[in-house]
């Protein structure tokens, strides 16, 4: 039987001593099964796993048929953004805390990977956000986000003021600590802790969640994922837009933050039997007796 994935890339959480041993075990397992193995360069250097070919993320995007991410959701977010334009499917092995995106247990890693490599998996496509910052009529910054794009105050304690438009229609003005624009993937992250709804990953929707709004009537709102969301920053002593909580860009008054659905998708592979609702019950402790 021909292999579905000929070359498998391994990417671990940077500067994490706990990643080295499972990464080495998985690399040896894949090699024994006849798969080509690439280890992301920074991962190899930080874990000391240098016995296998090393590659940059760009080279992984161009050469790998599958990428396995060892770490937590933060690691997966970073890699998803880096590889989304290449269409490389991702598998997440959880070495973090919650693991909404990295759902393969490290304890059953080899058994589960054998099943996935044999074609026994569930495939799921999730969309990202494309974000453009416009200043004085010019685009000054572009980025993508898998979880969310967040306009928020910086180090100062004062509220920021902004206006929100959807598809050119004025929605509201707001004084708050900020605004979260979240994908369904990000609805279990910052948006959830700010009172937003949980969106199933198959929903074609984006949710706007105010952060500590001054007016209590401000509530989360879900819009179609094909909508264009424009945020005009009216006043702020210090404001930024954050991408998945990992990168940011400093904003100025009268900047526009324009959020659209990206043309690319992230493809996640899950073990057979994976259930989104089972995962929510486990991670959020639903149904436990008090």
User: pLDDT tens for residues 110-168?
Assistant: 999 999 999 999 999 999 999 999 999 999 999 999 999 999 998 877 899 999 999 99
Average pLDDT of the residues in 209-218: 92
**Would the pLDDT of 1 be above 60?**
no
SS (H, E, C) the chain: CCCCCCEEEEEECCCCHHHHHHHHHHHHHHHHCCCEEEEEHHHHHHHCCCCCCEECHHHHHHHCCEEEEEECHHHHHHHHHHHHHHCCCEEEEECCCCCCCCCEEHHHHHHHHHHHHCCCEEEEEEEEEEEEEEECCEEEEEEEECCEEEEEECCCCCCEEEEEEECCEEEEEEEECEEEEECCHHHHCHHHHCCCCCCCCCCCEEEEEEECCCCCCCCCEEEECCCCEEEEEEECCCEEEEECCCEEEEECCCCEEEEEEEEEEEEEEEECCCCHHHHHHHHHCCCCCC
Per cent of the chain over pLDDT 90 is 84
Contact indicator for 116, 91 with CB cutoff of 8 Å: yes
Residue 272 has a CB neighbour count (10 Å cut-off) of 10
Amino acid 48: pLDDT? 81
Model confidence at 37, in pLDDT bands (50, 70, 90)? Answer: very high
**Would the pLDDT of 177 be above 60?**
yes
Phi/psi at 135 (nearest 5 deg)? -130, 125
Average pLDDT of the residues in 47-61: 92
Length of the chain as a residue count: 290
**Would the pLDDT of 204 be above 90?**
yes
pLDDT tens-digit map of 245-259: 999 999 999 999 999
Residue 120 has a CB neighbour count (10 Å cut-off) of 12
Domain 129-263 class, CATH top level: mainly beta
Average pLDDT of the residues in 208-230: 95
244 is catalytic: no
Contact indicator for 168, 187 with CB cutoff of 8 Å: no
Single out the residue of 290, 224, 289 nearest to residue 259, CA to CA.
224
Amino acid 97: pLDDT? 72
Name which residue leads in pLDDT, 26 or 19: 26
CA distance to 9, 182, 245, 262, per residue, from 259 (Å): 31, 10, 16, 9
CATH superfamily to which 7-119 belongs? Probable inorganic polyphosphate/atp-NAD kinase; domain 1 (3.40.50.10330)
Amino acid 290: pLDDT? 63
Start-to-end C-alpha separation, the chain: 51
**Residue ranges matching CATH 3.40.50.10330 in the chain:** 7-119
Q: Is the dihedral of CA 226, 85, 96, 282 positive or negative?
A: positive
Model confidence at 47, in pLDDT bands (50, 70, 90)? Answer: confident
Amino acid 46: pLDDT? 86
Choosing from 21, 73, 103, 148, which is the catalytic residue? 73
**Residue ranges matching CATH 2.60.200.30 in the chain:** 129-263
Average pLDDT of the residues in 42-59: 91
Amino acid 17: pLDDT? 75
């Amino acid at each position: 039987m021909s292999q579905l994935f000929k070359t498998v890339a391994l990417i671990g959480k940077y500067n994490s001593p706990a990643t080295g041993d499972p990464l080495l075990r998985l690399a040896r397992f894949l090699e024994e099964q006849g798969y080509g193995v690439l280890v992301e360069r920074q991962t190899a250097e930080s874990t000391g796993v240098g016995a296998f070919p090393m590659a940059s993320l760009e080279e992984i995007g161009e050469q790998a048929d599958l990428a396995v991410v060892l770490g937590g959701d933060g690691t997966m977010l970073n890699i998803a953004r880096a590889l989304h334009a290449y269409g490389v499917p991702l598998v997440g092995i959880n070495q973090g805390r919650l693991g909404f995106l990295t759902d393969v247990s490290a304890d059953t890693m080899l058994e589960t990977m054998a099943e996935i490599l044999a074609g026994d998996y569930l495939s799921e496509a999730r969309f990202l956000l494309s974000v453009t910052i416009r200043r004085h009529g010019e685009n000054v910054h572009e980025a993508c986000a898998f979880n969310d794009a967040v306009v928020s105050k910086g180090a100062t304690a004062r509220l920021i003021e902004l206006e929100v438009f959807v598809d050119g229609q004025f929605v509201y003005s707001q004084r708050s600590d900020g605004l979260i624009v979240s994908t369904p993937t990000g609805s279990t992250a910052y948006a959830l802790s700010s009172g937003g709804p949980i969106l199933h990953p198959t929903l074609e929707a984006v949710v706007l969640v105010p952060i500590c709004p001054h007016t209590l009537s401000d509530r989360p709102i879900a819009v179609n994922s094909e909508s264009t969301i424009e945020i005009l920053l009216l006043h702020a002593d210090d404001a930024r837009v954050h991408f998945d909580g990992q990168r940011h860009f400093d904003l100025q008054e009268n900047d526009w933050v324009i959020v659209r659905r990206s043309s690319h998708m992230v493809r996640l592979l899950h073990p057979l039997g994976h259930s989104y609702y089972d995962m929510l019950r486990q991670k959020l402790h639903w149904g436990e007796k008090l």
